[in-house]
A and B are shown apart, each in its own frame.
Chain A
């Protein structure tokens, strides 16, 4: 039975599963590292103990998250070769070095500064410790930059030549390879997304504890900070997303048309399809509900601007519209919901009721996971929208895979699902246990656990509040 499944579909499912699971952790740790940097800076500037307390509270959570990100990241460095060997051979000379730099950056950050950040405040003094925190935050951003460079090159390849073996090789300079057309837009959109994701987790934890005790100073401070982020950054993210969309329309029009469900060209302005079920087979959206001209208004900033349709492109170059249509809508809807919470919090703040409006807090708790869902939906949109290519327009997915055997891919996919859900499920449970504890007035420091050689501590500090609290 397994033999009848298409091994390429299974390989894609496996990659999608492992990379989606992996990205959950960095999406949080990128934002959290910067948040910790801000907290420590505020503590050093104002001397207010609440910031130091919050720093210690979130540092424990950061350690667990970062560790799980590393463990799931090790898997990714082998996924390219096991399932996508042709892609690895052909694109390796270009993306291999970029990924190697990501590994080296991560090493550097872990080796140099994470250990100090986690365990060193009493050993190295405030100034040096703050420097270590800043370096960790910077390291997560550099790491993200390399990975986004790899992904952007696959979306909008540039700066390459093709050698006699059919490999993509650098043409002369590495700069056009790193700074491709979609790179700046994607980087900004991804990093802001990580910040928003973190803001909503922090906001949810703050709101959760406000619902229990609205005088808890730590909960008040973290909720207030998170809501400022939501109010300020959510609109910026919507603008950044719009710019990213326009860039995609320029370089990957078929992706955007699939996201919009625009099969037929619209010479007098495209509608905005709110709801429907796109079908590539029928080349139309079933049960379509749409508003005329708004599609062109969004994509061209002019309601009467003509827009192409998918039928203007070769049928075999269409991405699976039914997936990206919906993943895109999930992402956008969550983005606007975040904006709504941000505006609501501004209103509550203006009325002096930020810490009193129970429904605001309940909604903030419910929105805690919103960032993760939006981030995954966004990646699904851009990655599925890149189909049917791995290197856009140049190398097809159907020609990128390894010589695969369906039973091997299926069995390993099942094994990944089981192991990830049990191992990372346990880790997530420990994280939630940490978050369920209210920030104390004097948050304990990380216990003096043995320092790690590379500073990676999958669960360091998880036990600290448990033993301290019992």
Chain B
């Protein structure tokens, strides 16, 4: 009994870590994706300054998600990573490049163009790899005897490429709306124009992924369309429509924070939709969270540490965002 509670608890913690990672690293990866479209000089420096204080804190949630998955659901960790092997490696290398480029561009003005390119390329690669990984997990991986049993390119499919592109566009929307909030003048106007088109793109991508997902497996179909569940699940697309309308209204009326809030809401709803599709599986249709769970001794041992430290991290993160709450200037925060 106690093990069941712990397992759900850990699934929630890891789900939270992944969600925290996606929304927080999402907007700074998005800025990397949009970076080539910013003019060299003030516009780029402003964009960089707006995320400089927070990006590495955002990224630590990725370590948390990976480490937590390994510790609490070792079987899932051992199936998903081999199944998406090239994607994970590409993502890590993209993040390495992007992480060092971030700082080195300030330090080495002579090679700034090079580091800017590394920053942008690393961001695109990382975002695309994350999106394709999502699609690969959703479409299901071949599992035999508790191990991945497919080839090293099984993840590649029209569906996974679609989710890859969807995540890139979605991150770019987060990045653009973040800049609307955090910058002023030409940077802000530029971001607003971008956000409009990216908003349309995100909705199209969300619609395409949502339309394709129920056709992947009958289970997904039943989860979304069978009565009485449909009464509940139908709220998700409804809320998406409301948030999207609010996003465009906010853009048109020159609101500064509303677009970012709505972009976040769209991501949360997308995440919720994924949860509805997948639960209670951790590797869809092959391994449930209980199949993959580490024994209760392991989960409870870690829980002690997580309960103490996760709130500390959250408090500190909140404080950091509070300290840097103003507009980002060319030379850092005002």
Q: Which chain A residues have a beta carbon within 8 Å of chain B's beta carbons?
A: 67-68, 70-75, 77-78, 80-82, 85-86, 88-89, 92-94, 96-97, 99-101, 103-104, 107-108, 110-112, 163, 165, 167, 169-170, 172, 174, 402-405, 407-408, 411-412, 415-416, 419-420, 423-424, 426-427, 430, 449-454, 456-460, 462-463, 466
Distance to closest chain B CB from A76 (angstroms): 10
Is B85 a contact of A82 with CB atoms below 8 Å? yes
Checking B70, B85, B305 against A77 with a beta-carbon cut-off of 8 angstroms, the contacting residue is B70
Which B residues lie within 8 Å of A72 (CB)?
Answer: 96
Chain A, residue nearest B303 (CB): A97
Checking B79, B103, B302 against A101 with a beta-carbon cut-off of 8 angstroms, the contacting residue is B302
Chain B 97-110 interface 0/1 with A at a Cβ cutoff of 8 Å (1 = within):
10110111011100
Which A residues lie within 8 Å of B5 (CB)?
Answer: none
Taking CB atoms and an 8 Å cut-off, the chain B residues in 73-126 that contact chain A are 74-75, 77-82, 85-86, 88-90, 92-93, 95-97, 99-100, 102-104, 106-108
Is A466 a contact of B66 with CB atoms below 8 Å? no
Distance to closest chain A CB from B252 (angstroms): 32
Is A423 a contact of B96 with CB atoms below 8 Å? yes
Which B residues lie within 8 Å of A78 (CB)?
Answer: 66, 81, 88, 92
Distance to closest chain A CB from B200 (angstroms): 32
A96-B149 contact in complex given A86-B78, A404-B82, A419-B96, C-beta closer than 8 Å = no
Is B295 a contact of A170 with CB atoms below 8 Å? yes
Task: Determine the distance from Cα of A458 to Cα of B151 in the docked complex, in whole angstroms.
Answer: 36
Checking B56, B70, B79, B103 against A96 with a beta-carbon cut-off of 8 angstroms, the contacting residue is B70
Distance to closest chain B CB from A85 (angstroms): 4
Is B333 a contact of A450 with CB atoms below 8 Å? yes
Q: Which chain B residues have a beta carbon within 8 Å of chain A's beta carbons?
A: 49, 52-60, 62-64, 66-68, 70-72, 74-75, 77-82, 85-86, 88-90, 92-93, 95-97, 99-100, 102-104, 106-108, 146-152, 294-295, 297-298, 301-302, 305-306, 309, 312-313, 316-317, 320-321, 323-324, 332-333
A85-B81 contact in complex given A78-B92, A419-B97, C-beta closer than 8 Å = yes
Instruction: Give the tally of cross-chain contacts (CB within 8 A).
Output: 236
Which A residues lie within 8 Å of B149 (CB)?
Answer: 403
Chain A, residue nearest B54 (CB): A453
Which B residues lie within 8 Å of A451 (CB)?
Answer: 53, 320, 323-324
Is A169 a contact of B67 with CB atoms below 8 Å? no
If A81-B66, A92-B71, A403-B150 are given as contacts, then 5 extra A-B residue pairs at C-beta distance below 8 Å, sorted by A number, are A85-B148, A96-B67, A110-B60, A112-B316, A424-B100
Task: Determine the distance from Cα of A381 to Cα of B202 in the docked complex, in whole angstroms.
Answer: 52
Which A residues lie within 8 Å of B323 (CB)?
Answer: 451
Task: Determine the distance from Cα of A362 to Cα of B55 in the docked complex, in whole angstroms.
Answer: 42
Which B residues lie within 8 Å of A463 (CB)?
Answer: 106-107
Checking B49, B54, B59, B295 against A169 with a beta-carbon cut-off of 8 angstroms, the contacting residue is B295
Distance to closest chain A CB from B282 (angstroms): 13
Which A residues lie within 8 Å of B146 (CB)?
Answer: 89, 165
Task: Determine the distance from Cα of A170 to Cα of B301 in the docked complex, in whole angstroms.
Answer: 10
Checking A68, A101, A112, A450 against B305 with a beta-carbon cut-off of 8 angstroms, the contacting residue is A101
Is B301 a contact of A104 with CB atoms below 8 Å? no
Task: Determine the distance from Cα of A167 to Cα of B293 in the docked complex, in whole angstroms.
Answer: 12
Most A-side CB within 10 Å, residue of B104, B312, B332: B104
Is A462 a contact of B60 with CB atoms below 8 Å? no
Is A96 a contact of B99 with CB atoms below 8 Å? no
Most B-side CB within 10 Å, residue of A82, A172, A451, A453: A453
Q: Which 7 A-B pairs have the closest CB atoms?
A: A92-B74, A453-B57, A81-B81, A96-B71, A459-B103, A405-B152, A85-B78
Chain A, residue nearest B297 (CB): A170
Most A-side CB within 10 Å, residue of B74, B77, B102: B74
Which B residues lie within 8 Å of A459 (CB)?
Answer: 100, 103-104, 106-107
Is A89 a contact of B75 with CB atoms below 8 Å? yes
Chain A, residue nearest B70 (CB): A96
Chain B, residue nearest A413 (CB): B89
Task: Determine the distance from Cα of A459 to Cα of B321 in the docked complex, in whole angstroms.
Answer: 21
Checking A74, A170, A458 against B92 with a beta-carbon cut-off of 8 angstroms, the contacting residue is A74
Which B residues lie within 8 Å of A403 (CB)?
Answer: 82, 147-150
A419-B152 contact in complex given A74-B62, A403-B82, A453-B53, C-beta closer than 8 Å = no
Distance to closest chain A CB from B98 (angstroms): 10
Is A423 a contact of B79 with CB atoms below 8 Å? no
Checking A107, A165, A456 against B309 with a beta-carbon cut-off of 8 angstroms, the contacting residue is A107
Task: Determine the distance from Cα of A96 to Cα of B295 in the docked complex, in whole angstroms.
Answer: 11
Checking A96, A104, A408, A424 against B306 with a beta-carbon cut-off of 8 angstroms, the contacting residue is A104
Is A426 a contact of B96 with CB atoms below 8 Å? no
Is A103 a contact of B82 with CB atoms below 8 Å? no
A-B contact list, 27 entries, CB within 8 Å: A67-B99, A70-B56, A81-B70, A81-B80, A82-B82, A85-B148, A89-B75, A97-B298, A101-B305, A104-B306, A110-B60, A111-B313, A172-B297, A174-B297, A402-B82, A404-B82, A405-B151, A405-B152, A416-B93, A426-B104, A450-B52, A453-B321, A456-B60, A458-B56, A459-B103, A459-B106, A462-B103
Chain A, residue nearest B94 (CB): A419
Is A81 a contact of B78 with CB atoms below 8 Å? yes
Task: Determine the distance from Cα of A71 to Cα of B104 in the docked complex, in whole angstroms.
Answer: 14
Is B152 a contact of A450 with CB atoms below 8 Å? no
Distance to closest chain A CB from B24 (angstroms): 9
Distance to closest chain A CB from B265 (angstroms): 23
Most B-side CB within 10 Å, residue of A169, A403, A405, A407: A403
Which A residues lie within 8 Å of B78 (CB)?
Answer: 81, 85-86, 88-89, 92, 402
Checking B60, B77, B102, B152 against A408 with a beta-carbon cut-off of 8 angstroms, the contacting residue is B152
Task: Determine the distance from Cα of A88 to Cα of B72 in the docked complex, in whole angstroms.
Answer: 11
Task: Determine the distance from Cα of A454 to Cα of B54 in the docked complex, in whole angstroms.
Answer: 8
Which A residues lie within 8 Å of B107 (CB)?
Answer: 430, 459, 462-463, 466
Task: Determine the distance from Cα of A436 to Cα of B324 in the docked complex, in whole angstroms.
Answer: 34
Which B residues lie within 8 Å of A411 (CB)?
Answer: 86
Is A89 a contact of B74 with CB atoms below 8 Å? yes
Which A residues lie within 8 Å of B79 (CB)?
Answer: 85
Distance to closest chain B CB from A110 (angstroms): 7
A426-B100 contact in complex given A92-B77, A100-B68, A107-B313, C-beta closer than 8 Å = yes
Distance to closest chain A CB from B106 (angstroms): 6
Which B residues lie within 8 Å of A450 (CB)?
Answer: 49, 52-53, 324, 332-333
Task: Determine the distance from Cα of A301 to Cα of B309 in the docked complex, in whole angstroms.
Answer: 47
Is B103 a contact of A458 with CB atoms below 8 Å? yes
